[in-house]
Each structure stands twice: as structure tokens, then as C-alpha cells.
Structure 1
Amino acid sequence: MLFLQRKNIKWKCEDCNIRMCNSCKVTVHQGLQSVQEHNVVSIQDIRNSSQGSEEVTSAVISSVFNSYTTTVPAVHTLLCLDDDLVYFTYCRVPSEENQFVKGKLLKSSIKILQTRKTNIFDIAINKDGEILFIDHNTNKIQILSSADEVKTGLDLSPMRPLAIHVNKDNEVIVGLREQGPPHPAKDFSVRQVIIFGSDYQRKATLEFDKKGNKLFSYAGRIRTDSRNVVYVIDRFDSDMNGRIVAVDRNGRLKFTYDGQTDIVTFQPVGITITPSDNIVVSDRGNDALHVMNSKGDLLGLQFIFKDLGIYYPYSLCFDSEGYLLIGCGKGKNEDCGKMFVVKMVDSPI
């Protein structure tokens, strides 16, 4: 009988850390209101993932498809749309070079379509094709329409918005902090990630874990996967040393990733999610890319300067064909930052 019970075990709840047969999953576990958001996975998927992990190598990029010289010293944020349209920004505070640029990627160059002199911290795009952005000079989420008209979507005063992202459900997710010095975060500091609906009505606030500890120090960048798990680049200081914090929309901490033990500093500055829900992070301090799965397990680590001549990686995004775009800072004897188009090892092209 014990053998038969084990043979019928088909599911595991990763939050409860229990294994279940079909009957227990349906009649017992799913009947509890408190576990409706828990992550239940099939045992077969776990086995397949385990077998596949043995073949993981340190390679992240299989080839460099193209490279472009931009018009800014560094590509701090980057969005890629259909038809090879890109939006990118450079923002240093204070700086007269700060720009928000719209361009089109051609075979050998970027055609600049529009340039704005403005201090934009972060950018995102909603399902209507509107660009949402956070300006350093205001506490507002502003919207750039397809007709190039700017309007205010949400005034977050007195809080200061830091990062913005739009998920697959068109929800707007914003990282916030209180007024005053950004670092270090103190006991009285308010460091939040807030989920708004597309109508900008607040739906959830992420600030503390289940033990009452602060989840974030400074939410520098935000992304979500297909299950709307929230991944945050959490910065500790002005040098951008930090970690990755993964949390579900109910405030349950999934994992934190602090880099590797043989790396002295970990400076995560860019983040994107693959179609298979792997997390890709650019590490400026080591000129490296880190790739991990949704459990926080490292799948690949590549020092891209040493291997490919790509340095100062700041921003990441995927284009419509599955290529990874890397926005970078300028190197020695260069006037402007670059943008690289690369093919990932696991990229579904």
C-alpha cells in the first residue's frame, strides 16, 4: 500500500513543502482559502528540471548579432518595440547630458527619431502602446502617447517614485521611497513596491515580509514573470551594490540572490525575464550576465567583457524575435554608449 501511495504522488506545493496525489490536491489542498496563491507544481516537471540542470553551462550568450553606437554616454534604461523601434534614456543627477531618445534600429546604425532633454529615471510601456515614465524632477508617473503628448497618470507625492513596470495584465508596478537621502535605508524609511491597476487604483502594497522585515532598501528596477511574481533590483548604496528580491503579490518572499561567493561585489543594474520565466540580470561591477530560474538557482554566469568585449552593461530587454538587447556605457576612447543585439543560449529563436 505504501508503494502505491508513493507511486500516485504527482504534485508538490512549494509553499507548504508537501507532496500530494491528485485526490489530495483537489479535495484537500485546493479547498483551503489560505493556499489559493500557493505554487503547486507537478513532480514530473521537478524531475525534468533536475535532469536538465546537469547540462547547464556558464555560457549565457551564444553569439553577438549586431552592435550600435548610441547618442548618449550610457544606456541606463531600454525598451524595444515592434518594427525595431527602441526607447532609451541616460540619466545622471545632476547632468546636462540627460536624454530620452526614440530611435529605429537599422542594419548598421540607429536612426534617431526624437530626443528630449529630461531626467527620466525609468520607463515602461502599456498595452495601449503608451510610454510611462518617471521624471526625477517630479513625483509623478507621466504618460507619453503615440501622438507625443505628455499627460500625468498618477501623482505619488510626497513619495518619490524610483522604478516602473507594466505586467502582462496591464497593471502598473512602481517602486517608491520617502523624501530625503536614499541610502542607507533606516528603520523609519518607507521602501515599497505598489501594484496599481491600469486605472491607477492601488491593488497591493509590498513592503514587509511575513516576519515584519523590510523587503526592500531601494527598488531600482522591477520586472514580473508569467505568474506575476515580482523581481526587484534592490540597491544598498549609491554604488549600486545590491541583490535580487523575488516576491509574490501577497508579500511572500520567494528568494533573494546576492551574486556568487567568488565575486567581491554584485552590482545588478538591468533585469529582464525570458519567455521561459528565467531571470537575466546585468552586473555592471563585473561586466557579467547572471541567469537564474524562478527558484533563484543560478543557471548561467558569463563575464561578457572577457568573452565578448561587452562592458558596462546597464539595461536589458528582449525584442519581438527573441534577441536580447544590452544597453551599455561608453568604453575607453569612446564618446557614447553602445547597444548590443545578442542571441542567448536558451533564446527561443
Structure 2
Amino acid sequence: MATSSTSIGIAQVPVSCYFCKGQDIKWTCVDCNVRMCNSCKATVHQGLQCSKDHDVISIQDISQSPQGSQAVTTVVISSVFNSYTTTLPAVHTLLCSDDDSLHFIYNGQKPDKLQFMKGKLLKSSIKILFMLKRIICDIAINKNDEILFIERHDHKIQKISIVAEIKTVLDTSQMTLMAIHVNKDNEVIVGIREQGPPFPVQDFSVRQVIILGSDYKRKVTLEFDKKGNKLFSYVFRIRTDSKNVVYVVDHSQYNGRIVAVDRNGRLKFTYGGKKDLGIFQPTGITITLSDNIVVADLSNYALHVINSKGDLLGLQFIFKDLGIIDPYSVCFNTEGYLLIGCGKSENENYGKIHVVKMIDSLT
């Protein structure tokens, strides 16, 4: 029996502008997942209040970028500029202010060493300008150069004025504060949870990141993604980039990750470390001028650098390469140097602060 086959042709429909349905597509919005022409990008998309911080890239850039072939460099630090020995067993949090004053804390298990210090880096030593003996778990600096801090297992935000006066500026009542940060717009961002043991995280557990105005009034609450899942388990550190995307060092009972979420509650990505490393224990985080994220990984004595899409750009094992041990905290000074706050080595009594230069392609 003779048989015949029929070929069915499927017409290809050209992609059109989401707004005007024209064919001259030039741009795509990563956040909205829409494509648009030049005119609609300028007159429609940019006019939407909800899209002012969205990531818009050209179609040409997409076509020229190799998919899934992001090279990961094994060199993050190009040189070690200087190293300083502190008078604390470890530098658990580290911040630089605009005048290059250094703020750092130790909140470990030695009660006689629990301190917050403010100082200046000299040629071969740290000049201490102010110290406070409190069990402080995190600090931030506002636009008035005032220091905000929270104590361990406490529910108050306290402020140290420029004349060293301390007062409470916010009481979160029955909730426990975990982390604090001030963004470029002088908004105060905190992580909170319910009182009691932090783990396991239950359905009724409250794990929030709250964005407050400079007047400490609540503006935004981040807790769930668009599917109703909890965004965070234990908010350990918070940082923001130039678009005010929130990056959270989030800890669980067994591992850690970086959670990136915009202020509308849209989850941008999660980063759980390189899969072949095993345990990923992020402790310190800071943001470069180009919005790359630098993460100190305590369990692997490493620095991870990821971009604003969550792609790994660089991974260096700084103990193996540079002898830098126990990296707890990181920050940039005004000259662009990366500062790494560390614990003490086996034969030493005090933690160190290393001043290093990152390679230009990652900054």
C-alpha cells in the first residue's frame, strides 16, 4: 500500500514589543520579563513607578553573551597592602565610615573581651578613638555618622551620637533583632524573628527583613516570596547595592546562603556556594561599586564574588594563597581597598584586619 506523508509548516511569529506590539525590539527587562522597543522603554516602562529599579539590558548584549559559560577566576585579591593586629580575639563585624574611621566588634564567647571599637588605621597600628563594652551583634552607620547597634538577643535599636551619647531609638517589643544596615537613602533595615530558640524554623515562625525610614517608621516588610514561601531562616547580615536590592546572609541549622530580594519582595536569586565545596558558611558581606557581592566564607577560608544576577565570578581560598585565616567580616574603605576582619590563628591571641586590593575586573 502506498503511503503519503504531509508536512505541516508552523509559522514563526516574530517577537513584538510588549507595549506597542511593534517589531523593532531593542531591550528586555529582566525583572518584568518583557521585551520592548526604544520608544516604549523611554516613555512607558521608565514611567512605571514599580519599574524604576529594574534591570533593563539590550537585546544585543544578550545575543553576544555566552550562555552558561561564565568564567570563574581563582584570583580575587591581587595584593595584600597591610595587616593589623587588634586587641580582640576576632573581628566579627567591620565597617568603614566616609572619613575612614573603622568600626569593629567582637561578640564571641569571652565575656571580658566583648567590645565595640572605633578607630583609625595608622601606618603600623590602630588608633582607638572610642570603645564600648557591650554584647553587640551588629552595627550600622547612618548619614549623620551616628552608630546604630543591636545587642545579642535584644529588641532595641540603640544609637551612639557623635558626642558618644547612647539612647534607644526603636523598641521592637516582643521580637528579637538579628541584623542592622543603613542603605544609601539613609533607610534603616533590620532582620527580626520571634523570641525563643532560632531553630527549627516552623510555619508560625516570624523571619522578616523590615525597611524603616530614617524616622524609624516601618515602610516595607519582606518575609515571603510570591509563592508564599519564607524568604529567610536566620538573617545574619544585611547589605544593599546601588539599586537598593537587599542582600541577606541567611543561616540555617546546617548551611548558609545569600538571598537577594528587591524591596517589592521579588526574589532575585539565592546563592548557596559552589556545590563541590560542601558546607558554605557566609559570615561577612559587602558590595563593590559595580554591584558585585563579596562574601567571606568562614568554613572554607575563602572569598566568593558574585554578580547581581547570582553568577559566581571569583572564588579564592585566601588561607591557602595568602595565609589569611578565619575571615569573619569584609568592607571597603573610601580608597577602594577591601578590609577583611579575621579571627586569631592557632599560636596568636588576637584577631587581625587585613587591607587588600581586589583585582580590577571584580570591583
Same fold judged by TM-score > 0.5? yes
Q: 1:15 aligns with which of 21, 24, 31?
A: 31
Give, in angstroms, the shift of residue 26 of structure 1: 4.2
**Equivalent in the alignment of 1:235:** 251
Task: Decide whether aligned partners of structure 1 residues 199 and 190 sit closer, same or farther in structure 2, where only a CA change above 3 A counts.
Answer: same
Shift of 1:243: 0.3
Residue 38 of structure 1 and its aligned partner are, at CA, apart by: 3.8
Q: Are residues 36 and 104 of structure 1, via their aligned partners in 2, closer, same or farther at CA, if it must alter by over 3 Å?
A: closer
> Structure 1 residue 136: deviation in Å?
1.8
Structure 2 unaligned blocks of 5 or more: 1-12
Q: Give, in whole Å, the separation in 2 of the partners of 1:86 and 1:347.
A: 26
Query: Paired residue for 2:350, among 326, 336, 339?
Result: 336
Cα 1:93–1:140 shift into 2, 3 Å? farther
For 2:351 and 2:49, locate their aligned partners in 1 and report how far apart those are by CA, in whole Å. 51
Residues 1:274 and 2:292 aligned together: no
Is 1:325 the equivalent of 2:325?
no
State the Cα distance separating 1:306 from its structure 2 match. Answer: 0.2
Indicate if the aligned counterparts of 2:283 and 2:298 stay in contact, CA closer than 8 A. yes
Of structures 1 and 2, the larger Rg is shown by 2
Gaps of 5+ in 1: none
Aligned counterparts of 1:42 and 1:242: Cα–Cα separation in 2? 34
Tell whether 2:182 aligns with 1:166.
Answer: yes
Aligned length: 346
C-alpha distance in 2 between matches for 1:36 and 1:342:
35
Structure 1 residue 31 displacement after superposition? 6.5
Which one of the candidate residues 201, 211, 215 is aligned to 1:199? 215
Residues 31/100 of structure 1: CA separation in 2 closer, same or farther (3 Å cut) = closer
DSSP-derived class of the 1:23 partner: helix
The answer to whether the 8 A contact 1:231-1:247 is kept is yes
Distance 1:94 1:155, change over 3 A: farther
2:321 to 298, 304, 307: 307
SS of equivalent residue, structure 2 residue 111: coil
Secondary structure, in 3 states, of the residue corresponding to 1:174? strand
Q: Please name the residue that 2:96 is paired with.
A: 80
Cα RMSD (Å): 2.5
Structure 1 runs of 4+ with >4 Å offset: 1-7, 26-37, 44-51, 53-56
Map Cα deviations across residues 100-141 of structure 1 (whole Å, 9 max, x no partner): 111211111112222221100100100000000001263110
Post-superposition offset of 1:84: 3.8
Partner Cα distance (1:109, 1:102) in 2: 13
Specify the code of the residue in structure 1 equivalent to 2:233: S
Report the TM-score, using the length of structure 1 for normalisation: 0.92
Deviation at 1:255, TM superposition (A): 0.1
Moved more, 19-28 or 321-330: 19-28
Alignment partners' CA distance in 1, 2:288 and 2:144: 22
Q: 1:183: how far off? A: 1.6
